[in-house]
Structure 1
């Protein structure tokens, strides 16, 4: 256990590092946010360890200037919550590199995957991060730091319930119906028209470029926005697609549930699920499917009687700073409730 709060003269840094964008915060020992800085990707798998270090150093200098802190005065600790930050060898190389090349940035470091930062921002005693954006992924983090996952294998093997998955299912359903290979569950007219308009084609053959030679996963997944509009307008096929996505997202939680700590299940409001990604904007269309997907399939599955779905209104950089401070035996005071928006509780 660390001490509550810290030295007024000590400062604690936290970094939310994504594949495209990064955000750094500096906090004081009372848990107050002093300043922010922003920067490009800090995923060391994409840009290399050396470039990642330079970018962290640059953001640290910037945030210290904004906080009126001497740029040569190291933070007491720095939490690095990075996309791709789970591998131990990568953690060692980056932390040792920072301590050697840029000792003025921080005295101590704690590095983890971006999931840990999100959980530390939103939950007191562990929880689940369930991502449904371009792709999908589910990770359980217990209070002792143990982590268990389901999914995250990319569009060739996984991404179930994601924007990509919904878009792919919609297009395949339209193609299969036209080929008379599989009878569609509902009329495909809306999906077919939306597909032609979105991708700028007039015939199905025009889709081949978008599916193969010019495949762009992000653009492909963004077709889900048009399908969400269809679901909102009560198009039966679009409504069905989001219901099916909800089932699969619920099953992600069911998959990791056997590894949950009883403390995590016993939080006020039950299991805390941090929902990340734009597909969650269509929660109402997914709700019944999600609840169906959470139902135990057999005696081996755990029945989750109480849970809360929430999304972040604060950057995971704050949670990263909290984890970094714990590394030096300091418990930064934090108003967890102010960091989240609860959009569903079960039972209602």
Structure 2
């Protein structure tokens, strides 16, 4: 158990926004705070440190704590937090520039925090928000990933990816390069309205001069509305395609699965994180198609349970931070998740 008088912190840091929790040694939540992105690849290490410190100060004040008294540990579960050199720069930077934030640090990618919030001993997390990523963590701590390469060379199945495919479909049709599978009228009008342009050349400013990944990913909301409410065939197809590639992320890590993760009462537990999962009804058919083995390296996953988080993965980050200094924070895993899909065959 964690020290009853000590305070432990955790931060969930995405490409768009971040959230911090403070917890006591008995697992009670003391305070929350929020901030913008803490992905150091997108904003730089120095700005990342400023934002972490700001959230720490705010959460300590909300909890009625001395802002100058360091936390026992701070777990950082950050988008872009997988590279060893980047971890060192962030942690060393915090210790140097903001020594009063925490005594100890543990940094990992955002996928680890999500699994630690939902699963006691390993599982799979599949992120589909602004970007996408998939991570398997086996009970022995070994991890294997698929995706997570960012918007330039990856992010398949994410909001950005869906938005980009919608835009490219329109441009390819206008250029007479590729004939679209469905009428483009709805998506073209929606695209011009969303980006505030009267012709497609106006998009160049958004994708180059004033590029904003989050803004472009926001177009996915419009596409989702077009699929769910107006039943536009092209919008529906874009989400079907996203479902397929998300399913293939699971298929990709399946050969590395420890059998104990498949043999539990829920089968393989997949923690689904990100706003794209709110459109599960639009993704479902494609996702199940993507799960089907399509070459001999694939392992079929017959029993799978998809859950969404009811709590921020900052809780898992705090748990991992505490474990890094040999303290165990109690976590109620079942109350942290919502089961929204189960497939048993």
Give the TM-score band, short-chain normalised.
0.7 to 0.9
Is it true that 1:239 corresponds to 2:236 in the alignment? yes
Distance apart, 1:213 and its partner CA: 4.5
Once the two structures are overlaid, the 10-residue window that deviates more, 241-250 or 256-265, is 256-265
Distance in 2, matches of 1:41 and 1:57, equals 13
Contact residue 125 and residue 267 of structure 1 kept, 8 A: no
CA contact (8 A) 2:266 2:304 kept: yes
How many angstroms apart in 1 are the aligned matches of 2:175 and 2:325?
63
Relative to structure 1, the CA distance from residue 174 to residue 60 in structure 2 (aligned partners, 3 Å threshold; closer, same or farther) is closer
The separation in 1 between residues aligned to 2:108 and 2:185, in whole angstroms, is 46
Q: Which runs of 5+ in 1 are unaligned?
A: none
Q: Which residue does the alignment assign to 1:334?
A: 331
SS of the equivalent of 2:253 reads helix
CA displacement at 1:98 relative to structure 2: 4.1
Decide which of 297, 301, 305 is 2:298's aligned counterpart. Answer: 301
Instruction: Answer yes or no: is the 8 Å Cα contact 2:111–2:126 preserved in 1.
Output: no
Distance between the aligned counterparts of 2:47 and 2:176, measured in 1? 52
The whole-number CA distance in structure 2 between the counterparts of 1:345 and 1:287 is: 11
Are 1:278 and 2:278 an aligned pair?
A: no
- Residue 24 and residue 50 in structure 1: after superposition, are their counterparts in 2 closer, same or farther (change >3 A)? same
The equivalences for 1:219-258 within 5 A come to 219-232=215-228, 233-258=230-255
Secondary structure of the corresponding residue to residue 280 of structure 1: helix
Q: Which has the larger radius of gyration?
A: 1
User: Bigger shift: 242-251 or 30-39?
Assistant: 30-39
**SS at the partner of 2:243?**
helix
TM-score for the superposition, normalised by structure 2:
0.87
TM-score (norm 1): 0.87
The answer for the alignment partner of 1:113 in structure 2 is: 109
Per-residue deviation at 1:271?
1.6
What SS does the corresponding residue of 2:269 show, helix, strand or coil? strand
The correspondence of residues 187-202 of structure 1 with structure 2, limited to 5 A, is 187-202=183-198
How far apart are residue 106 of structure 1 and its match?
3.2
Please give the alpha-carbon distance, in whole angstroms, between the structure 1 residues aligned to 2:210 and 2:11. Answer: 34
Question: Closer, same or farther in 2 for the Cα pair 1:194/1:73, shift >3 Å?
Answer: closer
